[in-house]
Structure 1
């Protein structure tokens, strides 16, 4: 089990006792510690109304609504998102770059392992990889659309078919 996000002390608790917290369990699930609503506030209202207006949401007999301060959830979410920064595409792009430069950075020093890179750098590699992938999809989409038009398919149908692999807004293809 490991803590996700900031500690209660980092969020202003003097003792760190009886404070909201978020943990990732060994199996990958999350444990949230929060205030159990006594029925006078949000949790009680939600239980009584079975999440009125929120499709498909309810609290089961073995579940409890807990209230967790926003800053606790926000710091936990930032850590979770940050750990996934770059994703597989960024990691593969970084590895391919490493092969081309013989594992050395621009200063001639060994490149760090992917997991040792700062979150911002991993996210940048992920964004760069996504940009390259999207550009390739856009080019392929344009070629498909143009080929279909040459083969006699009307422009609207060709654009619709090409949009199936195009990361751009489908409406932008109609104006071309």
Structure 2
């Protein structure tokens, strides 16, 4: 699958205070309209806590991003 990143949602990690590059959650809109997220893989710790009506395929991961990352991206997230 060939995906193309169209744009970042929100501000860059550097503008959120990550100058070391050690932590850099980010959200991107892809050319096909889907979204890609860079975050911390928390699958092991959160998988057993998913609600009964939630499911995760074996190839899917539960990724955590900071609240600030999502709040800063809010204005860039399309309504439709």
Same fold judged by TM-score > 0.5? yes
**1:70 maps to which of 64, 67, 70:** 67
| Deviations, residues 112-153 of structure 1 (Å, cap 9, x unaligned) | xxxxxxxxxxxxxxxxxxxxxxxxxxxxxxxxxxxxxxxxxx
CA distance in 1, matches of 2:57, 2:43: 16
1:23 aligns with 2:23: no
Identify the structure with the greater helix proportion: 1
List gaps (5 residues or longer) in structure 2: none
**1:14 maps to which of 12, 19, 34:** 19
Higher relative CO (Cα under 8 Å, sequence separation at least 6) belongs to 2
Identify the structure with the greater strand proportion: 2
List gaps (5 residues or longer) in structure 1: 85-176
* Alpha-carbon RMSD: 2.2
TM-score for both structures, normalised by structure 1: 0.38
Deviation at 1:15, TM superposition (A): 3.3
